[in-house]
Structure formats: structure tokens, C-alpha cells
Structure 1
Amino acid sequence: MATLAVVALAAGSTAGTSSAKEAPRPPSGKAAQSSQPSQPREATSPFTGLPAEPAPVLAVKIDNHKDARPHTALEDADITIVEKVEGGLSRLLGIYSSKFPESLGPVRSARAYNVEQLRMFDRPALSYSGARAGVEDLIEKSPLHARSHDKYPEPYFRGGDNEAPHNLYVHPDQLLDTAPEASKSADIGFRFADAAPEGGEPTAERSVDYGSAETGFEWSEKEDRWLASFDGAPATSTGGARLGGRTVIVQKVAMPPDDAGTPYEETVGKGKATVLRDGKAYETTWERPTAESGTTFTLPNGEPMPFDRGNVWLVYEEA
């Protein structure tokens, strides 16, 4: 990647578009006149920093059991979140907005912490297979547009080579048709720049182990991205594509057990996070004051940590 003398940060606004820099004002205080026609700024995704128009946000709970792999269209997610569930296993949460594939999955059940976690996207649509009674009630009473297979079966189907329950898939467009008021992509605190900041620790690989599931990332200079693996095996899609992202966040959070023994990822608050980009690891501080707030990642010098433009992977690690 090219190294720039000045890092220009690109932030997604509530409309999903980077804000324009204000032009200098003349001494009279009147706006400067120009004979040149103004050029429209290209809309960018606040989730990836890449060109994209504001679009509905769809969150999908994705199975990550070994019998559920390979995943379908996980490579199309703007953000892939890895979460710890009971038994030391992992589950995924895909955030889709820039691109909606024809189908994706396999889809599995939601957890209680997803309600608070997803409020940073305002009121997204949530695709999931179902949930235990107490969690289902919590989700239904939340501002999220809950669209479970149990209550909205039409967008879902059984398919692929996996056996139930690892073979439930969803048609995103059909599901979003049932949630026309779902929030559109908006600023969640991520900042992007073409050049990495100074410093950082050269890093070839990083992994997070939940006990019964391990998620790893290996830096590929050739592909200019971090290649993902699950339980030591390369993570791939049903189409054969290797999964991975330009930026990987390992966010340390508290994980106290809920009343069912499921780790409850506490994503509101403040803590440490390691951000991987361009073959280096940067130590940062994450902060999210309220459930409705976005999450910021700040370098030790007080500057925002700029992510590389492209798919982002976020892995929760127990603090």
C-alpha cells in the first residue's frame, strides 16, 4: 500500500456519505464564489469505507459449527462478527448492506446480547432461526426488526449438503421486503484511510481461542488482506473463495454468563482492542457509551485508528 504523509480519515455520516471539508471563507464572511461547477461526492459505506449508497442494514445470525461449513455468501458481508456461545463454541453475525446475495447462511439462533449489540445500527432487520422463550420475548420487544424463521418462514429454505439444523438459508431481498422500515447504513464509529498510521507491531498471524472453537487470521502480502481460518482450517465459502478481511478487530469484552449459561458479550463500555491492518497490529482503546452509540477505536496518541477500506472482521475476546 502507498504510504501517505498525511492520513486522511473517511467517516461514514448518517447518510453513509463522507462529509465535505469546508472551504476557506473570504474576509467579508460571504461564501467564496467559483465559476467551476461543483462535483458530487461519491457515497461511501460507513461499514467498509468503499463506494456504496445508503441501503438497509440486515444482520444475520450465521451457524459456525463444523457441520455448517462452508458458509454461503459470508464473503459479501460488510462486517463479520465472531461471537462466543455456550460450550466454548463460536457463532457468526454477518452485517449486510453494500451487497445482498441471492441467498446466504446457514442461519442459526439469536442470543440475548444481540439486542444491545445491534442497537449501534439503530433498527436493523435481524435474520435468525429462532431463540429460547426468554430471548425471543426480549428480541420481539426491542426496536429491532426481528424476522425469525419461526415467525416469518417465507424468506427461508432448507438446502445445501448439510443436515438439519445446519442447512437453513435465507433470501435477503425477500426478508427485507417484510421490514421496509429497517434502518439504512449510517455512522457506527468506524474510520477509514488508505494509509496505515505510523507504528504498529509487524504481525504475521493472530488467533482467538474460545475453548472448543478457534478463529485465526494470517496476513497475506500477496492478497493484501488477512485470511481467516476456523479451527485451524482455511475458512472458505461454498463458491470456493477464501474468507478474510482488510481489517481485523480483536475486541476485549466482559463475557459473564446469562441465566442460561450463555456468555453475554458486553459491548457497551470501554476496553482494549487490537486492530490488524497491513500486516501490523495496533493497540487501541474501544469505547461505546450507550447501546445507541457507535464504537470508536482510538490509538494511544488520541487519534482515531484508521481501518483499511474493505471487509471488516470483528472478533470478541474475553477481557
Structure 2
Amino acid sequence: MRPVIDAANLEDLGAQKHSATIYTHDDSRISPYAMVLRADLIMEFAKEKALNIASSKNMGWKFGDSPQGGVAISSVHLSWPASSYDAMWSQEENRWLLNKSGTADLAASGIQLGPKTLVIQNVSITDSIYKDKVGGVTPYSATVGTGTGFILRDGKYFEATWTRADETSGTIWKTLDGTEISFAKGQIWVALTEKAPVFTTIPADAPSPATK
């Protein structure tokens, strides 16, 4: 991995080289997850060293009103070999509240994490060529090309298709009839998965999340 990083158009600011410079230690976590990057320190370091920092690019998304239709749900379950997530729709907060492996996913402030728009992108996940010193393999998610998925917003899911021309392009999401999908303004989470999500739907005769 290190030769690849050295050969890429990247600045190696990993903890192996800069642990005392731009990282801090979170006593509430266990190693090796206790090392936390300080954004203020990395920006100071980059300016001091005159590092070339690229500007963020358009991800291909647009924001606006919800598409027509959709299926009203109260929650969705997503799973991977080593973990799982549940997202529950909160009408009061107008966002999806996240649980990780059965436990509320909380910020340090105590607020439960959760986006306005949850993107579930069906992809092929295979072993990459990279692994750690004890044999753990980094997965590779194929996000270039075309595929299917779901856009979750406003208490509903919308079946969708995605298109990404190449690694430098953004991902375009459309409904099954070809209409580009707008995301809700606010935080977005993207779940890359090859396992079908499990939705808990709301009966047709029950009030929808958007009208309760």
C-alpha cells in the first residue's frame, strides 16, 4: 500500500508519519481507533508546508423537491459481513436516525447521527489487492458504470438507477422512468452494499410519514 500511496498524487499525512503533529488521542476509544485527525492542525500543516490541496468536485447530485411516488417506510436494515445499520424515519426531526449493529449511533455531543437523504447504492464488492499485516483484506466497491439502488428521503424510498462514467465523474441518480432525482437539502449518507436492504413498509391505509 505504501508504495502505491507514494506514487499517487496524494500527500501522505497518515498517523505513521505525523501522529504527534496533526492527530490527537480520544480517551473514550480503544486502539487503534483512538487516533483522531484534527482538521485545524492539518490545515495549518498544509499551509506551512505549501501542500497542493485539491478542491472538492461536484458529486453529480442535485437538490430540490422529492420525486413523485415512492414507498412509505418506517425503517430500513442494511447489513455487511461484519456490521449492520438501521435507519429509522423521524417525522419530528425530518431525517433518518441511525443505529449501528443495534445501538444508537451517537456523536460525542449525544445527538443521534442521521441524514436527510440516505443513498443505498447496489455495487459489486470484492477483495482488493490491499491487505494489512495480519491478513485483513480491504474490500473494493465498484462504483463506476451503471447500477441500481434506492434513494431514501421524506420517509419514503424510491427505486433508482445510478450512472457514473469514470472515476473522475459524479454519480447521477434517476428514477426508473429516467427522471433525475433530487436529494433533500442537508446531510447525505451513502451505503455501498451488495446485499438487498430490508424495508419496513407502512400500510397503505396508515398515514404516511410526510402527512402525520
The TM-score bracket by the shorter chain reads 0.7 to 0.9
Give SS of 1:244's match: coil
Alignment-derived partner of residue 205 in structure 1: 75
| Identity between Structure 1 and Structure 2 (%) | 27
Give SS of 2:42's match: helix
Cα distance between partner residues in 2 of 1:283 and 1:141: 40
Equivalent AA in structure 2 for residue 292 of structure 1: T
Q: Does the CA-based 8 Å contact 2:23-2:35 persist in structure 1?
A: yes
Alignment-derived partner of residue 55 in structure 2: 184
Say whether residues 1:156 and 2:9 are aligned partners: no
Equivalent AA in structure 1 for residue 139 of structure 2: P
Cα distance between partner residues in 1 of 2:62 and 2:91: 23
Q: Which runs of 5+ in 1 are unaligned?
A: 1-134
Structure with the largest fraction of strand:
2
Cα distance between partner residues in 2 of 1:200 and 1:163: 42
Task: Quote the RMSD (CA, aligned, Å).
Answer: 1.6
* Count of residue pairs the alignment pairs up: 184
Equivalent AA in structure 2 for residue 192 of structure 1: F
Query: TM-score if structure 2 supplies the norm length?
Result: 0.81
Alignment-derived partner of residue 125 in structure 2: 255
Alignment-derived partner of residue 143 in structure 2: 267
1:171 Cα deviation after fit: 1.0
The 5 Å alignment of 1:53-72 reads none
The 5 Å alignment of 1:1-319 reads 135-153=1-19, 154-179=21-46, 180-193=51-64, 195-259=65-129, 260=131, 261-318=137-194
Structure 1 pair 144–206 and aligned structure 2 pair: CA distance change class (3 A):
farther
Q: Which runs of 5+ in 2 are unaligned?
A: 132-136, 196-212
Give SS of 1:258's match: strand
Cα distance between partner residues in 1 of 2:5 and 2:74: 39
Equivalent AA in structure 2 for residue 264 of structure 1: Y
Cα distance between partner residues in 2 of 1:215 and 1:273: 16
1:165 Cα deviation after fit: 1.4
Query: TM-score if structure 1 supplies the norm length?
Result: 0.55
Give SS of 2:43's match: helix
